[in-house]
Structure 1
Amino acid sequence: MKMKFVKSCLMLAVAGLLSSSFAVAQDKAQTLDQLLDMVKKSQISESAEHKQREAEFARDKANQANLLAQAKATRQAEEARSTALEKKYQEQDILVAAKKVQLNERLGSMKELFGHLTSTAGDLRATLGASIVSAQYPNRGEFLDALIEKMNSNTRLPDIEEIERLWFEVQREMVETGRVVKFNATVIKPNGEQSPQEVVRVGTYNLVSNGAYLTFDGAKIQELARQPSDHLAGAQQLQNATSGMLDFGVDPTGPAGGQLLTALIDTPNLVERWHQGGSVGYVITAVGVIGLLLGLFRILVLLGMSAKVKAQLKSDKANTNNPLGRVLKVAEENKNVDTETLELKLEEAVLKERPSIESGLAILKIIAAVAPLLGLLGTVVGMIETFQAITIFGAGDPKNMASGISGALVTTVQGLIVAIPVVLLHTIVNGRAKAIVHVLDEQTTGIIAENSERK
């Protein structure tokens, strides 16, 4: 049963395939003959295509074999060429070594001479690069690079003209050291403007133009942003002079970069020093101004008061425009009282006058004591900031550290500058006040004594 069932399934499947293929073919073929013809043509075309592919595969296989043969032949040729080149290199290496020995033997003392020339050329190249003479004669050291390269080469030698030029540049640098000359050049102003003008060169030390000092960095000439004002007159006289002797401020460190001139122009002036004190310095200045104005005002007031007191001493009538006159007025109003009462009245009158006479003394005393303390406070704050900067940036540059400490000490100087004159003013004001009070005490004592005698 099972076999029958399987056979029937297979027959059904074949019948379905035939029916489907017939249905597909029915779209193109109308009869069975046409269908058979189409199947035959399809078999023929497939057979031709297979033959074409087989021919292509055969041709590709033949080409690959030819390429492989060519590659093997190329490799063998290159291996042979490499062997020949290696042998030739060894032969040339031996020949080069022999030629070097021959060259050293023939050079003899010339090799030592070239060594000295190389050293001299190297030193001269460094000198010319930093010399202000190069501002007048630019590009003097360009030939030195080629000369040094030749003298260090094993295949080239310097010629006589190059060696003579080396000697000439050394001699010219020495000669120009002692000359003061004028030449035209382009000068860069502090605002960046370029101006062609006459420049005076003082040896290898300084450059000046139009009464101003210049600097040369090896490529361009620049006018210093800040000028040493004490020497500008000498610079202008040098610019206008044609011969003779005159005073001129020369920086002897010019060939080494002009450190003295730089330090001179970088030295802060009085206003810059004052600003270095910072906020504490401004407070000290304000306190000092208050103290000075108060002291001068009190001196003027006491001088006027003293003059009025002296005039009152010469007068028989009490005048209330001065302390002594007001005290005498009290004495006149109480001339008939007993001695003790008069004494109390006069002491009260003197006590009323003392505050106006001694006004400002306490403030001046406080300012004289506080100003140095404010200066010390500013110094401590500045030192803290300096050490914080050292912690962050290190102490590799002593100039920066010294500059910070110098700025920190400015407030101490400011405090002392305020305290010293304020102390003097306090002393003067106190002396004037005591003199007036002494006159009042003296006159009241005399009045009391006279009243006591009358009683």
Structure 2
Amino acid sequence: MKGFKSLAAALLTALVIAAPAHADTPASLAELLKTVKAESIVESKENKQREAEFRADRNQQAALLKQARAELQATTERGEQLKATFDANDKQLTELTETLRQRSGTLGEMFGVVRQYAGEFKGLFAASQNAVQFPERNALLTKLAESKELPSTQELEGFWHTILQQVIVSGNTTTTPATVVYGEGKEAVRDVTLVGEFNAIADGKYVTYVPQTGKFEELSRQPTKNIMRNVPGFEAANGSYEPLFIDPSRGVILSLLVQSPTVQERIDQGGLVGYVILGMGALGALIALFCFLRLTVIGAKMRKQAKSDKVLDGNPLGEIMEAYQGHKGDNLEDLEAKMDEVILRNAPSIERFVGSIKLFASVAPLLGLLGTVMGMIGTFQAITLFGTGDPKLMAGGISEALVTTMLGLVVAIPLLFFYTLVHSKSRRLVQMLEEQSAGFIARYQEKLHAADS
């Protein structure tokens, strides 16, 4: 009994400890026993419920485990199947690659040739002025030149068609809209006439194609008029044939031609000495023209006087005739002296200014040589300062130095012809006076002989 009490006290103590704070404290052991039994029944129900839930979870976990194992087995079988397929495909791929390598040996060489020529044609087509008509072909050539794979049949056909297209347009004259850059930097879209691969014309002027910008630029200076006179007619021609100067070097000769100095620029290179030479040439030509006209007038008067028995004023032959008719004495020497005096008085007048033409013709080459020497001195001074590294420097200086020599010869040669012409004409007039004078003397001498006999 004593032991039962001790056990009851211990359970009561445990219940007191475990019971909630709000539970009522049993008043007696009977109530405590009753409370314990009630709680035991509740706890037993909870434990059964927990056990049922645990069993349900265990069955579910078992099902999931079974499902996972089935999936693992299926996946393992699938992996083995894929590995077998991969090994088979890899073997087949190796065999096909070897077959492709063997069968594409010639195609590989062809691909190298295609890539090489595509790169070369890309540069040629980019520099061609006809590139403005076909801007899309650059993409195909770039792909063929940079591709590391075999080209397709369509790409090879496109490359072939591009080459044929370039060959065709190189022999045709077409007009296409393009951007033209003018000297002052302005741009405008104009109709540009392309003459094959040689030249391009826009607005009646020659233009050049610049591959870097894909535009045309107007020449800084157009060619001479004899070249430009055919451009408007050619540009306006509609299917008909018209003459035109073309540059077979694709603009190289044309660029050099427009860079060559004009006549005015050549004259300017001669400097002060060149202008002096030209001034002397102009003055000598004016004097020669004046002398020629003056001698022509005198000669016409003398020829008119030769056909008339009357003395006409204003000509040397009339003075000789007047001297002959006015001679009354019988002394032949006096008549000869009178005639010689008339000739000597008129000869300088006839030959007036003729010697100055010869002087200008002689001095002009000397002045040209002087200008050349001065130019060479300047050239050698430039060589002393900058050395001989730039041949253009020496060539340009020597060229400018020789301009004065050229101008001197250009002036002297025609002046010599003018001098010869005028001098011969004056000598003929003087000779005509001497002949007429000798004729009058002979006539007078015949009269003397007739009187003596």
Q: TM-score over 0.5 for the alignment? A: yes
Quick check: 1:274–1:281 contact (8 Å CA) kept in 2?
A: yes
CA gap 1:221/1:357 in 2 versus in 1, 3 angstroms: same
Is 1:221 equivalent to 2:216 in the alignment?
yes
How big is the shift at 1:216?
A: 0.7
Per-residue Cα deviation, 1:149-199 (whole angstroms, up to 9, x for no partner): 653xxxxx5875995566665554344334433321221233433222222
1:200 aligns with one of 185, 193, 200: 193
How big is the shift at 1:217?
A: 0.9
How big is the shift at 1:235?
A: 4.2
How big is the shift at 1:214?
A: 1.8
Which residue does 1:190 correspond to in 2? 183
CA gap 1:275/1:105 in 2 versus in 1, 3 angstroms: farther
CA gap 1:328/1:196 in 2 versus in 1, 3 angstroms: same
Which residue does 1:249 correspond to in 2? 245
Which residue does 2:36 correspond to in 1? none
CA–CA separation in structure 1 for the residues paired with 2:382 and 2:143: 47
CA–CA separation in structure 2 for the residues paired with 1:173 and 1:245: 22
Which residue does 2:120 correspond to in 1? 123
Q: Name the SS for the 1:200 alignment partner.
A: strand
User: Sequence identity of aligned pairs in percent?
Assistant: 36
Quick check: 1:147–1:162 contact (8 Å CA) kept in 2?
A: no
CA–CA separation in structure 2 for the residues paired with 1:136 and 1:397: 41
How big is the shift at 1:278?
A: 3.7
CA gap 1:137/1:408 in 2 versus in 1, 3 angstroms: farther
How big is the shift at 1:215?
A: 0.8
**1:227 corresponds to which letter in structure 2?**
Q
CA gap 1:124/1:352 in 2 versus in 1, 3 angstroms: same
CA gap 1:318/1:175 in 2 versus in 1, 3 angstroms: closer
Quick check: 1:135–1:216 contact (8 Å CA) kept in 2?
A: no
Q: TM-score, normalised by structure 1?
A: 0.61
Bigger Rg over Cα: 2
Is 1:357 equivalent to 2:350 in the alignment?
yes
Which residue does 1:6 correspond to in 2? none
How big is the shift at 1:356?
A: 0.8
How big is the shift at 1:289?
A: 1.5
How big is the shift at 1:342?
A: 5.0
Q: TM-score, normalised by structure 2?
A: 0.61
CA–CA separation in structure 2 for the residues paired with 1:439 and 1:126: 80
**1:226 corresponds to which letter in structure 2?**
R
Is 1:427 equivalent to 2:402 in the alignment?
no
Please list every run of 5 or more consecutive structure 2 residues that lacks an aligned counterpart in the other structure: 1-96
CA–CA separation in structure 1 for the residues paired with 2:391 and 2:132: 30
Quick check: 2:388–2:394 contact (8 Å CA) kept in 1?
A: no
Quick check: 1:309–1:322 contact (8 Å CA) kept in 2?
A: yes
2:341 aligns with one of 325, 345, 348: 348
CA gap 1:319/1:242 in 2 versus in 1, 3 angstroms: closer
**2:256 corresponds to which letter in structure 1?**
A
Quick check: 1:135–1:221 contact (8 Å CA) kept in 2?
A: no
CA–CA separation in structure 2 for the residues paired with 1:388 and 1:139: 56
**2:218 corresponds to which letter in structure 1?**
E
Task: Say which is worse superposed, 222-231 or 405-414, in terms of deviation.
Answer: 405-414
Which residue does 1:261 correspond to in 2? 254
Which residue does 1:11 correspond to in 2? none
CA gap 1:335/1:395 in 2 versus in 1, 3 angstroms: farther
How big is the shift at 1:315?
A: 4.5
CA–CA separation in structure 2 for the residues paired with 1:390 and 1:128: 43
How big is the shift at 1:362?
A: 1.5
CA–CA separation in structure 2 for the residues paired with 1:281 and 1:328: 50
CA gap 1:284/1:179 in 2 versus in 1, 3 angstroms: same
Task: Say which is worse superposed, 313-322 or 382-391, in terms of deviation.
Answer: 382-391
CA gap 1:201/1:387 in 2 versus in 1, 3 angstroms: farther
CA gap 1:198/1:329 in 2 versus in 1, 3 angstroms: same
Which residue does 2:319 correspond to in 1? 326
Q: Name the SS for the 1:196 alignment partner.
A: strand
Q: Name the SS for the 1:250 alignment partner.
A: coil
Which residue does 2:59 correspond to in 1? none
Summarize the alignment of residues 96-245 of structure 1 with structure 2, pairs less than 5 Å apart.
109=105, 115-138=112-135, 140-141=137-138, 151=148, 160=152, 164=156, 169-170=162-163, 172-218=165-211, 219=213, 220-228=215-223, 229-232=225-228, 234-243=230-239, 245=241
Is 1:279 equivalent to 2:272 in the alignment?
yes
